[in-house]
Structure 1
Amino acid sequence: MISISKRLWGHLEGKDVYLIKIENRRGSYVEITNYGATLVSVVTPDKKGVMGNVVLGFSDLEGYMNDRCYIGSTIGRFGNRIGGACFTMDGVQHQLDANDQGNCNHSGSAGFNSKVFDIDIRESGVTFGLLSKHLEGGFPGNLQVQVIYQWTEEDELQISYIATTDQKTVVSCTSHAYFNLDTGSADVIDHELTIDASKRLAIWADYVPTGLIIPTASLSFKRERIRDKMKVVNDEPSGINVFYVLNKRKYPSPACTLSSGRSGRQLKVFTSYPGMMLYTGDFLPKPFAGVALECQHFPDSPNHTNFPSAVLEPGDTYHHHVYFKFGMNPEV
C-alpha cells in the first residue's frame, strides 16, 4: 500500500513550502517538495538490500533556494536553451530573459524551479499546480500547469506534465534530477549507459542547436561507461552535454538505461518525449557527482521548423510523461 505524508518545510513569499514523502510497502520512497515541484530524494535498495538515496539533493529548503544547478527541479515553461533569447511566432517576436551567454536557458525568471506550487494530495499521488502568467519571462499566454508525481509498489517514479493555455505559446517541461546509483559514494563516470538513439543535435559552442540532426557516431551509448565517451583535457575528463534524438519505440522498451556495477542498481527511463538531454554534471559543485537524463522537446525548437513542434494552442492540452523505473541490474 502506498502511504503519503507531508510536513512543513519552510515559508517563501508568504507561502508554505512542504516536504512530501511517498512510500511503498517495500520501504522504498521518494520525497518531493512544492518548491519548484522538486524531486528531493529517491531511496531504494542496492544489491545487498541496503537503502540509499540515488538522486542529488539538499537537506533543507535553503539549499534549493541557493542552488544554481536546478538540482531535482521541474523545468518549465521551456526546458533547455532558446537561442538569442527570442523566438518569432505568427509574425510576433517574443523577447525572453537572456540568462546564459545571450540565450534563454530553462526559461529565465519564468522558470518553474523557483516557484511555489499548489498541492493536491490523493491516494494515487501528488499533483502540483501553478499558473505561469502571460508574458512572465517574455512567454505568451497564461499557462496552467500540473506536475503529477506517482510512486508505485514496483519502485517506479511516474512524472506527468499537463498544461493548457489561453494564447498560443511554447511548452517543454522536464525533470532536472541528477542520478547517482552509488548514492554519492563515487562519481557517475563509471556508470554504464545505454541510450536508444542513433541521432543527436549538432550544437554551437554555447550549446544552442545549429539546426542540424546528425548521427550519434562516437557519442552513441550501448552498455558503455560514461567515462569511455569523455574527452580528456589536461588529464581531466571533460563532461558531456548532448541532446539525443530518441528512436521510435514501444513500451516497455526504455529510452535509456543507467546501471552501476558497484551498487547493482539499474534505472530505466521511459518517456513520451522525442528527445533526451544527457548532462554529466561537470558544472556541479562536485563535478560528475550526478548525471541528468532530461527527457524533453528539442532545445530551441521554436526557432527551427525542422524540429518537432513544441507549440501549444488554446483548447489543446499538453500532456507528456517521464517514468523512472528503479531496480537491480540482472547481470550483477
Structure 2
Amino acid sequence: MVFKQYWGDYKSREVYLFRITNASGAYVELINLGATIVSIYVPNKYGRLMNTVLGFPTLDGYIKDNCYLGRTIGRFANRISQGRFFLDDWMWNLETNDGKHNNHSGSDGFHDKVMDFREEEDGVVFFYTSPHLEGGFPGTVDFQVKYSWSHKNELLIEYGAVSDRSTYVNFTNHSYFNLEFGSPKILAHRLVVESELMIENTSEHIPSRIISINGRNELNGKKVGHSVLYKEMRHIGLNNYYILKRKGNDKPSLIRLEAPRSGIELNICTSYPGVQVYTGDYLKTAVRGNEGMKYGPFEGLCLECHNYPDFPNQPNFPKAVLFPNMQMKEFIKYKFGVLEE
C-alpha cells in the first residue's frame, strides 16, 4: 500500500513523501527530490519497528544536506578523475567539485532533481530526463528508478536508462545505514563483503590498481570499528571499492551487515560488479531539519553498489558504455531480517 503526502516545494516543484507499507506494518518512506530513501522501518529482535537509515524529518533537512543522505546518485556515482573523460573522439569536461576531480556528478547530479513519479501497488517509480550536456555529460538520458517493498521486508531498487547518444552512466543509492538507530555510531556493526579483490586508491580516492585481499579481508564479519585507524590527527575508516564474487542474482549474501544489539541484519545482492564501502568519515555537516542537530562521523555506513569507479579513465576497468537506444538495467536488493540467536 502506498500513501502520499505533500511535503513542500523546491525550485518551484512540488515534493511528495511516499510511504510504502507491507502486510506486517513495516514500511519505507521516499521523496521525489533525488528519488531519495527517507526511512526504512523494520522489526528488531523484540518485534518493534526501528528505522535503519539516516534521514531528516522535514524537506528543509534535504535542501540543506550536502552528504547525499538516501539520494539517488547519477549520472555517475563515485569519482571521475580530473573531471573529464574521452568518448567518441571528444573530451567531455565535467564540474570539478572534489578538488581536481568530479564526485557524484557535481552540483547538477540527480540527487538534486525533483522527479516525476508513478505510484504502483507495491512501490513508486521515479522518472527524470537529463538533457544533453547536463553536468557536462553527453547525450539526453531518460532515467527511471523503481522502488518495490515486499511482504518479506525486501526493498528492490531497479534502475533503467536510455540515451540518444553514447554516454557513461553509473547509478547507485547513497543511504547511510545504521541498524541500531539509537546508537550514535556504527562501529559495533559486523560487516561481510564476499570479495577477493579491491581497488587501491590514491590519497585523493582515485583508483590506482586492483589488488588481491585474499587472506586479509577486513570485511569478514569483524566489527566495523576494527577497520578504523587514527591517522593524521583524525579517525579514518573505509572508503574502498570491493569487487564482488558472483553468485547469481538470487543469492542475497554477497554483502551482509549485522547489528547484534538490535538483532537486525541486512543482506544485499546486486547486478553491479562491486560495492563502495564508506564508513561515513566525513559525515558532519548534514543538518537534521529545523532541529539544528547534526549527524557526525561514523553514525552511518554507506554500501554503494555500482560499476567500477572512474572506469571511463581506467584502461583496465570494464567499460559500461550506454550506446544510443540501448536499454540499461541494473538492480540492488536490500533484504532485512532478524539474526538467529
**1:303-314 maps to which residues of 2 (within 5 A)?**
303-314=313-324
Counterpart of 1:240 (choices 238, 241, 248) is 238
SS at match of 1:109: helix
Of the structure 1 ranges 132-141 and 107-116, higher mean CA displacement relative to structure 2 is found in 107-116
SS at match of 2:60: helix
- Aligned CA distance change for structure 1 residues 72 and 201 (closer, same or farther; 3 Å): same
Deviation at 1:58, TM superposition (A): 0.4
Deviation at 1:109, TM superposition (A): 2.7
Deviation at 1:178, TM superposition (A): 0.5
SS at match of 1:223: strand
Amino acid at match of 2:156: Q
- Aligned CA distance change for structure 1 residues 156 and 76 (closer, same or farther; 3 Å): same
Could you tell me which runs of 5 or more consecutive residues in structure 2 were left unpaired when the two chains were aligned: 285-295
Deviations 1:168-209 (A, max 9, x none): 000000000000000142310110010011100011110011
Deviation at 1:234, TM superposition (A): 7.7
- Is contact 1:246–1:276 with CA below 8 Å preserved after alignment? yes
Of the structure 1 ranges 193-202 and 308-317, higher mean CA displacement relative to structure 2 is found in 308-317
Amino acid at match of 1:215: S
Question: How many Å separate the matches in 2 of 1:143 and 1:274?
Answer: 22
Deviations 1:44-79 (A, max 9, x none): 111111211110000111101110100000000000
Amino acid at match of 1:25: A
- Is contact 1:129–1:146 with CA below 8 Å preserved after alignment? yes
Deviations 1:66-122 (A, max 9, x none): 101000000000000000000001221000010001100000133111100001001
Deviation at 1:219, TM superposition (A): 4.4
Alignment match, 1:264: 263
Moved segments of 4+, more than 4 Å: none
**1:1-332 maps to which residues of 2 (within 5 A)?**
3-210=1-208, 212-216=209-213, 218-233=216-231, 237-250=235-248, 251-285=250-284, 286-330=296-340, 332=341
Amino acid at match of 1:255: L
Deviations 1:258-278 (A, max 9, x none): 001110000000100001000
Question: How many Å separate the matches in 2 of 1:309 and 1:220?
Answer: 28
- Is contact 2:88–2:166 with CA below 8 Å preserved after alignment? no
Deviation at 1:233, TM superposition (A): 3.3
- Is contact 1:198–1:220 with CA below 8 Å preserved after alignment? no
- Is contact 2:227–2:237 with CA below 8 Å preserved after alignment? no
Alignment match, 2:291: none
Question: How many Å separate the matches in 2 of 1:206 and 1:16?
Answer: 37
Measured on the aligned residues, the alpha-carbon RMSD in Å equals 1.3
Could you tell me which runs of 5 or more consecutive residues in structure 1 were left unpaired when the two chains were aligned: none
What TM-score, normalized by structure 2, do the two folds share? 0.94
Question: How many Å separate the matches in 1 of 2:272 and 2:259?
Answer: 25
SS at match of 1:84: helix
How many residues end up aligned between the 2 structures? 328
Quick one: percent identity of the two aligned structures? 41
Amino acid at match of 2:270: T
What TM-score, normalized by structure 1, do the two folds share? 0.96
- Aligned CA distance change for structure 1 residues 105 and 184 (closer, same or farther; 3 Å): farther
